[in-house]
Structure 1
Amino acid sequence: MSSRVMAGKKQTVLRQILDQVTIEGTPSSVPPGSRVALFASYSADARVSRSIEELVTQLQGRGYFVILIRASESTEPLRWPTGKPSDLMVIRKPNIGYDFGSWSAAMAMFPDIRRRPHVLLVNDSIVGPFASIDPLVDLFESSTSDAWSATTNLQVSPHLQSFFTGFRNGTLATPVMREFWTNLPNETAKHAIIDKYEFGLTRALFSEGFSSEAAFPSQIVGAPGDNPVIRGWRTMLELGFPFVKRELLTNPTVAPDGHLVREFVEARFGTDPLNWL
């Protein structure tokens, strides 16, 4: 199959998303500014977790215009724990393309986002923040690299982990990044999603020689073959990462000491993480 046909096939995936997106409430446009955060979220219903509300609030407190891109089967207005934060844009979309499809749709709807000096991509696969995100955001904003992430993972292929990543000074507006985000294939198999989306992003960055760094590189968290936020969850918290992966709470068996996560978070932060889901 020719590259032109393949590109058209991939573009159709984004077009399917864009044909079905809606903006819920106000605002409906992105104001001028240097900081934007694209927050990808999925839920089968309209309930918004405490984690999402707290992270939105803290990002806004750091001067980020936050766009929550919500993939859901539900079309009901979102139900917030204490009320929708002001000045938050909410985009509703079908569950196509997972988190990468959500980020891609927001960039396509508001292309100027790509050129902003500081752009964060986050998702709801992490629970928290149980403490201030200021130290983490400070590390991103003081970075001189083109791309940044909370941590890296050396499993299978070295890559930036996508649940909290940042891009500086218009990196997202470069041709290779436009190509990547516009032509995401529609994948449903987990291994293909990881390869084409998460590994694919890092490959695209490396192919153009973009610089990158992480707040907590995998090698300082645990063994090279371990996922730092799964097997290294305790170290990540002790180093100052104020989140845990949702999977550790919903399926503690993914880590040998996963059964201790809830107790550790309660002791360290004085809150039950299950109440944040």
Structure 2
Amino acid sequence: MVQRVWQSLYNPVADRVSWYTSWRHSKPDYVRQRWEGQSGIRPSGKIAVLVHFSTNGRFAGYFLYLLRALEEAGFSTVIVSNARQIDRDSLETVLPHCARVLHRDNIGYDFGAWRDGISLTPEIAGAEQLLLVNDSIFGPLQNIPEILGRCDFDKADIWGMTDSFSGKYHLQSYFVLVGSKALRSKIFTDFWQRLRYVSSKRVVIYKYEIGLSQAMLRGGLRLRALFPYRTLTKAVFDCALVGPPKGVHPLRDEYFDRLFRSVNAGHPLNPTHYFWEYLITDLEFPFLKRELVEKNPAGVPLLSGWRSTIEQSSDYPVDLIEEYLQSTAKDRVF
């Protein structure tokens, strides 16, 4: 109790200090090294900026799988790594499948990396689509060109996989596809030019993950998610109305009751955690969040079934996830 009170007092002060001292990070970019990839910027008009981080500087197997999927979907990918160092042998595995690799100081989290990737890729000015993506996801579990084909830019200018009402409405930033109208808008350009390299993750989430969507909405741009939160909460209500299946396991019964009460009360939930199984099995969602199987911060029950869920819904090589967890998991196993 004392710790929670202390955190509630400390966090706002720390966040404010982080924001007001971010002026110290005033370089135009924080890139230290650069390698040109073998694919270059292709004339497809589609560019992805893919953020990478690992403690050992390696590009894991699941990262390479994602990179190759983006290549097959027609994206020229610029990798921006926040790792302390780059493993040179591992680097050789990604260079054939990307346009370039930028290695930078880890300042500003993903948004700092996206800013540097955008500012150092002048070809984006003439692109038709820009994909902002990071390595916090395993996948794609499904055909990604087919899924992205559902992004109709006559209906929205910026598309995300999932959206959230936590804080304020926003597209979750792990996978955001920006169309040409938004790319060429002053509001989008100004957002990245004015972005600060902030050291607080909470500030980055509020000012930039939430702030990006809110700034675009204020600028008159239209945002949509392929797997909207409203669809997921409707499924919870539909299940409650017909009566959820009881007796599967007490933990699942208890969890559904807790889920329904939160949704009914209007409390926003992280869709990629709380609805992960429904997303994959019923909606053919293409990703599994890495943090879910590393830490399960929401306490989702029976999570150890993630392997069979993926194997039954996808041909994604589950061994890639197992390999990653073997090198990174600490004190928890799901």
TM-score range, shorter chain: 0.7 to 0.9
CA deviation after TM superposition for structure 1 residue 139, in Å: 1.6
Larger Rg: 2
- Find 1:265's aligned residue among 304, 307, 310: 310
| Deviation per residue, 1:161-197 (Å, 9 max, x gap) | 1111011114123221112112212222232111011
Query: What TM-score comes out, normalization by structure 2 length?
Result: 0.72
SS in 2 for 1:66: strand
Asked if residue 41 in structure 1 is aligned to residue 52 in structure 2, the reply is: yes
- Deviations along 1:118-166, whole A, 9 cap, x unmatched? 1111101111223321222212266541111111111221111111101
- For the residue of structure 2 that corresponds to 1:220, the secondary structure is helix
Question: Given the alignment, which residue of 252, 276, 290 partners 1:246?
Answer: 290
Q: Which residue of 2 aligns with 1:198?
A: 209
**Is the Cα contact below 8 Å between 1:38 and 1:106 reproduced in 2?**
yes
- Distance (Å, rounded) in 2 between the aligned partners of 1:185 and 1:215: 29
Cα distance in 2 for residues equivalent to 1:83 and 1:212: 32
User: What are the Cα deviations for residues 231-271 of structure 1, in whole angstroms up to 9, with x where unaligned?
Assistant: 01112212111211101111135342234323422443362
Asked whether the 8 Å contact 1:171–1:177 carries over to 2, the reply is yes
> Quick check: 1:69–1:92 contact (8 Å CA) kept in 2?
yes
How far 1:31 sits from its partner (Å)? 4.7
* Counterparts in 2 of 1:133 and 1:166: CA distance versus 1, 3 Å: same
**Alpha-carbon contact 2:109-2:201 (below 8 Å) kept:** no
RMSD of the alignment, in Å?
A: 2.7
Letter of the 2:298 counterpart = V
Q: CA deviation at 1:89?
A: 1.5
State the alpha-carbon separation in 2 of the partners of residues 243 and 220 from structure 1.
17
CA–CA distance in 2 between the matches of 1:243 and 1:81? Answer: 26
Aligned to 2:122: 111
Counterpart check, 1:66 vs 2:77: yes
In structure 1, runs of 5+ residues without a counterpart are 1-8
1:157 maps to amino acid: K
Deviations 1:68-90 (A, max 9, x none): 11111114426169664345311
How has the CA–CA distance of structure 1 residues 99 and 14 changed in structure 2, closer, same or farther, with 3 Å as cutoff? farther
Q: Give distance in 2, aligned partners of 1:81 and 1:29.
A: 15
Note if 1:228 corresponds to 2:239: no
4+ runs deviating over 6 angstroms: 9-12
CA distance, structure 1, for counterparts of residue 41 and residue 60 of structure 2: 24
- Tell me how far apart the structure 2 counterparts of residues 251 and 10 of structure 1 sit (CA, whole Å): 30
- In 1, are the aligned partners of 2:67 and 2:97 still within 8 Å (CA)? no
Q: Do the aligned partners of 2:36 and 2:95 also contact (CA within 8 Å) in 1?
A: no
The residue matched to 1:105 in structure 2 has which SS?
A: helix
- Cα distance in 2, alignment partners of residues 205 and 274 from structure 1: 38
Gap runs ≥5 in structure 2 = 1-20, 234-262, 326-334
Matches within 5 A, 1:7-18: 13=25, 15=27, 17-18=29-30
Aligned residue for 2:138? Answer: 127
Say which structure is richer in helix.
2
- Cα–Cα, structure 1 residues 80 and 186, in superposed 2: closer, same or farther, change >3 Å? closer
2:37 to 18, 23, 26: 26
CA deviations over 1:201-247 (Å, ceiling 9, x no partner): 01110111101111000111234511110101112212111211101
Give the paired residue count. Answer: 269
The letter for the 1-side match of 2:130 is V
User: The residue matched to 2:27 in structure 1 has which SS?
Assistant: helix
The answer on 1:146 being equivalent to 2:157 is yes
Preserved contact between residue 60 and residue 324 of structure 2 (Cα < 8 Å)? yes
Deviation of 1:26 after TM superposition, in Å, equals 3.4
Separation (CA, whole Å) in 2 of partners of 1:168 and 1:83: 26
Moved more, 98-107 or 78-87: 78-87
Residues of 2 paired with 1:228 and 1:81: CA distance?
Answer: 35
**Structure 2 residue matching 1:254: 3-state secondary structure:** coil
Q: How far off its partner does 1:53 sit?
A: 0.9
Q: Is the 8 A contact 1:107 1:114 kept in 2?
A: no
Over the matched positions of the two proteins, sequence identity in percent amounts to 26
Structure 1 stretch displaced more, 215-224 or 135-144: 135-144
